A and B are shown apart, each in its own frame.
Chain A
């Protein structure tokens, strides 16, 4: 096995324990030598030489060309790159003197997000189209599943960043956007709902209350009301039914908040909550265990959020988090400590803190309003640069990414764009996209453009012309000349003296 590490070098760095990646190279047993060469296409070539003392039958003569943190190319990912390229270019043009209007930044954020969504759908379609006759999942399917997981994570994370950092929300709206966020990316609740309601006796279904709790935490009151119609408790006792029904119907936090001041919204919420408590204390639901829990949730009763059935109704910690915020601090702002605290709390209860996934870490960092850390973390835990390059850029346009306090601040957004652009040069046709991104990197872009443009293979006349044109477009005169010389030599070698001239 060959172990590949990547790290930054600073003054006292020592080789860390963590492995970056493991490539199994056949024949390279212990003591074998690994050689690598950096290649012109941003990959490394690996080969091994066993030490002379080892058995000769394990000699391997394989060469592997590997790419690190590149984008795995297929039709959906190519489309994502092309679409986001178009959005990126338009967004940069809109800069001007005063910067980009927040409403426009939001629009582009939504466009990027829809491109991500399309990518996920495209990848899912690819899996469906693979011959389902194969009993075991091949490598291709495994890789597609991994990509679906990645781009789904990116979609969820991007969406949250959009809600927290890009949207300009009136008071009371953040919770609604967070609810929308949870609902959009949730897949289990609708499935449960459909299954339960399709049954002849929904209330007999084991998932009946679980579904109700899940819906309540997502603020989907209308559907809760619908489901409760099937509850025998409600059917038998008209008063109970009316009581809970009214509370749900009148819940203010999920209604329109337009034009209302903070004080008004707070007043409405308190009034409603007061009424919930009153009815609960009056004993309206005391005879019915789950209704008692449900009403407790509406009151924001901590104990009820910890009830087993309620906890189990959430597949993710952030579903629970948003649910709690809805009933305990619905007027939350993205800078509020309550948001960070509740997030951490729910995370702790649902997850093993020692082994948090990339998504969990990114979401938590975003909920802690730590924009720079979101960028740094994304750079370190994700497996390609698409997300962090576009996010840093759009946050910069929104004026959120305040890097002036960092020593390397101005380089940060460029750094991630350069990394992303570099990963595009491996692809036969996306080098042009790479060049465009590099053209928006004022400090380092040119250096990378110069290094990469001459390495673009000149397979056809048409492509060669395109490469030369791009050189001219960016004022890369020396590179254009060099390319012409290569073409001339090639034409000369083929006896096309006219072309050579």
Chain B
């Protein structure tokens, strides 16, 4: 496509410092942002102009990431910060309160993500203290956690869950994970490695150590299912590369790597579309690139220069 950009909405968050993350909720109606100003803000972006719903104060350092839980658990948002804490916030009748505060990490918590909702309310947290932990509720309002030490030397920078669907099963009737489907996640760290983990018993086993990056891994993203027996992970790194790791579930179950591209600057984020077919990469030098797998090589969908779209500064 010619790539015409339409700005659907713009929000002047009025954070007092740099923004580190912005995530829309499950329905794309509310936006959560977090900043070096130590706050998390929640906006309603479903109308013609954004409305600030809440400013959540509770962290004592820059807040790095936010993650929305599945709506079947209500309005729940998690945030993580340089202050080593993970806070879980819940909205009741329009007001947001802390549901739980987790302070077991020894240094900055860099990345969090809620697990697929089929597993329950489960949160993965990656920390500079080289470990990752899994927070989960026991159903009676209590929270427990499991810690995975020594995940990555020099720090665990990113974490991402595998989808709950059994990749080997075809999606006829949308077969979901049963209790037999094993939980997987992927982490990236300061040891330049991407690691695939599998839950086993009470803990986690490193199923695979993926080598390919030559500098810190900044983000990892496990692609949502594309309806095929294929698992895909994108990793991006300080080494300016983005690598796509693919595993064919039916043939050998070995991870194969492909360097998507070597960019001219550090790549900070990798984000998959919910249909798992488009990857958005962002990094230094102001470039966002979108990548889509071609139809067996016969497809040319790259376009020429189109008119720029001026984004108006918000009033």
Binding between chains A and B? yes
CB distance from B203 to the nearest CB of A (A): 29
Quick one: which of A360-393 are within 8 Å of B by CB?
376, 379-385
Quick one: which of B273-315 are within 8 Å of A by CB?
273-276, 278, 280, 282-306, 308-311, 313-314
The main secondary structure of chain A at its interface with chain B is: mixed
Q: How many B residues are at the interface, by size bracket? A: 35 or more
| Contact in complex: A18, B305 (CB < 8 Å) | yes
| Contact in complex: A63, B11 (CB < 8 Å) | yes
Residues of A within 8 A of B258 (CB): 11
CB distance from A68 to the nearest CB of B (A): 6
| Contact in complex: A39, B24 (CB < 8 Å) | yes
CB of A94 within 8 Å of the partner chain: no
CB of A65 within 8 Å of the partner chain: yes
How many residues on the A side are at the interface (Cβ–Cβ under 8 A)? 101
From B8, B260, B300, residue with most partner A Cβ within 10 Å:
B8
CB-defined interface of A24-50 with B at 8 Å, one 1/0 digit per residue? 111010111111111111111111111
Quick one: which of B193-234 are within 8 Å of A by CB?
224-227
CB of A97 within 8 Å of the partner chain: no
| Contact in complex: B301, A380 (CB < 8 Å) | yes
Quick one: which of B1-47 are within 8 Å of A by CB?
1-15, 17-29, 31, 33, 35, 45-46
| Contact in complex: B287, A62 (CB < 8 Å) | no
CB-defined interface of A384-426 with B at 8 Å, one 1/0 digit per residue? 1100000000000000000000111001100100010010001
Tell me, in angstroms, the Cα distance from A379 to B2 when the chains sit together. Answer: 8
CB of A185 within 8 Å of the partner chain: no
Listed in ascending order, the chain B residues whose CB lies under 8 Å from chain A are: 1-15, 17-29, 31, 33, 35, 45-46, 70-74, 92-93, 117, 171-176, 224-227, 244, 258, 260-261, 263, 266, 268-269, 271-276, 278, 280, 282-306, 308-311, 313-314
Residues of A within 8 A of B172 (CB): 446
Quick one: which of A436-455 are within 8 Å of B by CB?
444, 446-448, 450-452, 454-455
From B12, B74, B289, residue with most partner A Cβ within 10 Å:
B289
CB of A53 within 8 Å of the partner chain: no
CB-defined interface of A57-68 with B at 8 Å, one 1/0 digit per residue? 001011111111
Tell me, in angstroms, the Cα distance from A350 to B53 when the chains sit together. Answer: 58
CB contact between B27 and one of A4, A62, A457 (< 8 Å): that residue: A457
Tell me, in angstroms, the Cα distance from A21 to B266 when the chains sit together. Answer: 21
| Contact in complex: B269, A36 (CB < 8 Å) | yes
CB distance from B237 to the nearest CB of A (A): 14
- The total number of A-B Cβ pairs within 8 Å is 316
CB-defined interface of A10-22 with B at 8 Å, one 1/0 digit per residue? 1101111011111
CB contact between B280 and one of A21, A44, A70, A478 (< 8 Å): that residue: A44
CB contact between B311 and one of A37, A64, A380 (< 8 Å): that residue: A64
Residues of A within 8 A of B301 (CB): 6-8, 379-380
| Contact in complex: A415, B295 (CB < 8 Å) | yes
Residues of A within 8 A of B13 (CB): 61-63
Residues of A within 8 A of B286 (CB): 1-3, 25, 28, 30, 32, 34, 48
| Contact in complex: A47, B19 (CB < 8 Å) | yes
Other A-B contacts than A49-B18, A384-B4, A485-B72, 16 sampled, CB-CB below 8 A, are A3-B287, A4-B287, A7-B291, A23-B308, A34-B282, A41-B27, A43-B8, A49-B19, A50-B18, A66-B7, A408-B298, A408-B299, A422-B275, A447-B225, A477-B173, A478-B173
